[in-house]
Amino acid sequence: MEKNAPTNTALYEAISALLQSEGITCFAALPLSECRLTRPYLAERAGIPAQGSAVMMAVPYLCPEALTPDCNLSAYAVGRDYHLFFSGLFARLCKQLSERFPDYRFAGFADHSPIDERDAACKAGLGVRGKNGLLLTTAYSSFVFLGELLTDAVLPGEAQPIRTCIGCNRCLSACPITGTDRICLSALTQKKGTPDEEETAQLRAHPLVWGCDICQTACPYTQNAIRRGTAFSTIPFFHERLIPHLTVSLLDGMSDADFSERAYAWRGRPTIRRNLLLKEEDK
């Protein structure tokens, strides 16, 4: 198969159809040369040259259960670890594309990526950069996971100027630690060891035992998306095996296999158990 423009257009159409069949509608291609490489060795290992392309995708994950009053986990941690979703997604995509387009190489990445994903997603036109540092999409606001399919093919698509949000500062105003040198509350819930007195007070005052969504829920992009009815994911993975309210008994009752599938598993049980116990001490 010759690597000519019509073939590349056909390839992009095939990728588009596959992504839409997976419930992913927010995606676009751009030259890999326009992406900021952070781990170039990952692309090199996959045989993807700098002259290739990246198909950036913003995958919605918000479920209604994450917005209930008794939810004590950040929305991204209510379901299973999103890395499991991307692992399955890219396995399916790469298999089908390799069978249909054997002259090209394909590799999928999410989180541990060769490129700066937020920068590339902005350049692909998927959304704008918020003051909280997150990508804000029109349909889903910032409740998206970013991933990309890299290929050595040259796909239709050009890098766009990076745009920023409306700058209302609601995310910054809502953040309880804005203006201090303390770490983000989300990072604090993930910090190992014994917190100091001030950190303990912040953890007790914080409504969640893992992560923080305050800057996201305060954002007008989020409020508009919820009002329009587009904010919630339609992808089955993000509605399965949900735990919106974690307790010590639930945590201790999880098998190692079940625990390993949770977003907080990478930190181990002691950190999130500490946070849970702090909440129980306040009862």
Residues taking part in catalysis: 111
Question: Closest Cα to residue 150, out of 204, 93, 205, 191?
Answer: 93
Q: How far apart are CA 272 and CA 77, in angstroms?
A: 12
Report whether 110 contacts 147 (CB < 8 A). yes
Burial of 173 (0-12, 13-18, 19+ CB in 10 A): exposed
